[in-house]
Chain A
Amino acid sequence: MAEMKSQAAGDEIVRDRAEAKWSDLWTKEDYWAIWIAFLLIIAGLIIFLPRPPKDMNEKIAKANATMEAEAKKAPFKTIEWYRASDTKEGIRAASEPYGQTLSSWFKTPGRWENNPIESLVLSKEQADAASAAAKERHEKAKKKLDEALAAATAAQNAAAAAGFKDEKLNEEAQNKIAAWREARRSESSARGRANTKPYNIIPTLIGLCIAIGLLFSIGIKVMGKPVGKFLVGFPFVFLFAVLAFIGAQQNTMHYYGFGDPLWAVLLGLLVSNTIGTPKWVMPAVQTEYYIKTGLVLLGAEILFSKIVQIGIPGIFVAWVVTPIVLIVTYIFGQTVVKMPSKTLNITISADMSVCGVSAAIATAAACRAKKEELTLAVGLSLVFTAVMMVTMPIFIKAVDMHPVLGGAWIGGTIDSTGAVVAAGAVLGEKGLYTAATIKMIQNVLIGVTAFGVAVYWCAKVDCIPGEKVSAMEIWHRFPKFVLGFLAASILFSILYEALTRDVGTAMLENGVIRGFTRPLREWFFCLAFASIGLATDFRELAHYFKGGKPVILYVCGQSFNLILTLLMAWIMFFKVFPEITAAI
């Protein structure tokens, strides 16, 4: 976009006027983010779609037939119903041999306790020792699972013997089946640890570094930037991304939710503000390029059918409350808190009301927030997410709140999905699934939020007060990567429905997305956060924090969010649609 300076409304105000040119298609990183992301998306579709798991359609049809028959047989979900559901869930393109080979190339560092090297290399002796240490726990979990299954089978048989007419026996069977499901999840996790395999991911990390570096260098070259210097600095940025993943995989950090964005920024800041980021690294510090490419890939993960997953109550809790909280918090930030920056205000408001770090990234990129503002919003989100992850289930348990209400409350308010699942798990299966589902519905709002913020900024913020901005001017200023983001979302949402949802889940969600585009998106975001850390002056960051206004905004907005979400969830799940709550 070429800028043309124009005088407007008095001599002091000088505004850049944007213009779109055909050459923007190959000279601007917004477009290069789209080209690279779509190249990867097309590659993913070509790899996965022609290679479905063996007998996929037959297995899905059989599982559905079993669930249908079982649903007619008993007034609750039987053991056979769940088994059929599990069989269907296990049909995943990403679990096919080619999918596993592919995922091994995108592998991030593994979990560790005291020795970070184990994150990269685990010898056979170490793997055997880890398996042996976990064996006892697995044996116990397996025994508990067998007992739970036997108890569930006995209770279900007793209910069946009474023709499923005895409410007490039906309830007993439901409780025993729920306990079996819980034991199954616990055993599955213990089994994984008891089967620890040796690995060495250093060669694949080197390969991935070269591949990602070359991929981004195409755009760098065409945009006329120094490609050689980019390739020289890139391994350093990649190294910081690897270190960030290692930090996030330390067991304690992993369970508390301190993820790779935190470590990428923190480690980058530490180096850039002490010994200084080497000058030769700076050409590879391409925050916007990485973040926009990651965001277009993220678009593929936003499937619109998720919105209706739990019916109208879910739409109200996630799609009515969230925009209200976002807009009210932003207005509150401007008028009451008097935030020094509109972009910081909207980034914090979106991160707090929508879904944490991912929403902050999308919104910050859409309104062109400064990297310090994004860092601050992400930091706030991570800290409050950890606090809410722990305190909300304690409170919900203490007041004996219904798990569906508690789950909806958690899903609508805690920022990141991982923390939502962790908090929801304390409430049992119903609470967990309600929380996770509400969060997924809210995740879909990212696209709408990014688009809305981008349009609002072009039309109302980046202009002279009172000026009417033409549609063409909005188009010129509009961050084009947002269009790629929306296009990816629409493409995958249509494909998902066209394949039918069961096949779409197996081939797209558990194939192209989780097996290909999502791991790459994770790497691109981590590279972006490492770049932010490596290019940020800590004093600049402190400047944005002055007066604690960001914290005040977050706390006030989140308090409003907590009240409104709880109220809406109670009205929807207990007053307007109690039958949906009963069915969950």
Chain B
Amino acid sequence: MKDQNASGALGPGKASRRPEKPSAGCGARYLRLLLGLVGIWLFMFHLIPALDDLPGIKTVIDRNKEFGIKATALFYSDIEETIDATNYMRNQIRYRPAL
């Protein structure tokens, strides 16, 4: 059994092959790159925007637009609304209306 310490796991190493230039001709390789870029363009400007008007999806996306929500945020510190939430919850506990 191999200790993965030696494998250079996330980086280039035994466990992960470094990409080699494909054997296809130069023209074919650039053509593939172009096709990939066209795919990205279709995804970004046609495929996903086509979902915008579907009922349900529209509600969420419109909210995101209205409040400027950064839906791409990975962690709590990447997004402004978590500051509001922290503040809200903390003040709610410390200064809870009690009448």
A residues lining the B interface (CB < 8 Å): 1, 3, 13-18, 64, 67-68, 70-77, 81, 85, 88-89, 164, 185-186, 189, 192-193, 247-248, 250, 252-261, 266, 270-277, 282, 285-289, 291, 298, 301, 306, 309-311, 343, 355-358, 364-365, 367-372, 374, 389-391, 393-394, 397, 416-419, 421-423, 425-426, 429, 432-433, 436-437, 439-440, 443, 457, 462-464, 477, 501, 505, 509-510, 513-514, 518, 522, 525, 528, 531-532, 534-537, 540, 583-584
Contact = CB atoms under 8 A, between A and B. Distances in A.
B82 A259 contact: no
Nearest to A579: B96
B2 A15 contact: yes
Contact of A186 (B12, B19, B61, B67): B67
A-side binding surface: helix, strand, loop or mixed? Answer: helix
Given A18-B3, A464-B1, A417 B16 contact: no
A271 B33 contact: yes
B73 A535 contact: no
Given A274-B30, A421-B69, A358 B59 contact: no
A14 B72 CA distance: 44
A509 B85 CA distance: 13
Contacts of A525: 74
B40 A426 contact: no
A370 B15 contact: yes
B-side binding surface: helix, strand, loop or mixed? Answer: helix
A189 to B, nearest CB: 4
Contacts, number: 295
A393 B55 CA distance: 12
Interface residues of B, number: 74
Contact of A67 (B5, B45, B91): B91
Contacts of A364: 9-10
Contacts of A1: 5
Contact of A85 (B11, B44, B52, B87): B87
A17 B63 CA distance: 55
Contacts of B10: 287-288, 291, 364-365, 368-371, 374, 528, 532
A273 B93 CA distance: 54
Contacts of A68: 95
Interface of B: 1-12, 15-22, 29-30, 32-33, 36-37, 40, 44-45, 48-49, 51-52, 56-57, 59-61, 63-79, 81-99
A107 B7 CA distance: 35
B77 A433 contact: no
Contacts of B67: 185-186, 189, 425
B45 to A, nearest CB: 8
Contacts of A357: 74
A393 B1 contact: no
Contact of B77 (A17, A273, A286, A301): A301
Given A282-B18, A391-B56, A418 B73 contact: yes
A255 B85 contact: no
A118 to B, nearest CB: 15
A436 B75 contact: no
A439 B77 CA distance: 11
A310 B89 contact: yes
Name, among A76, A389, A390, the residue most crowded by chain B CB atoms within 10 Å (CB to CB): A390
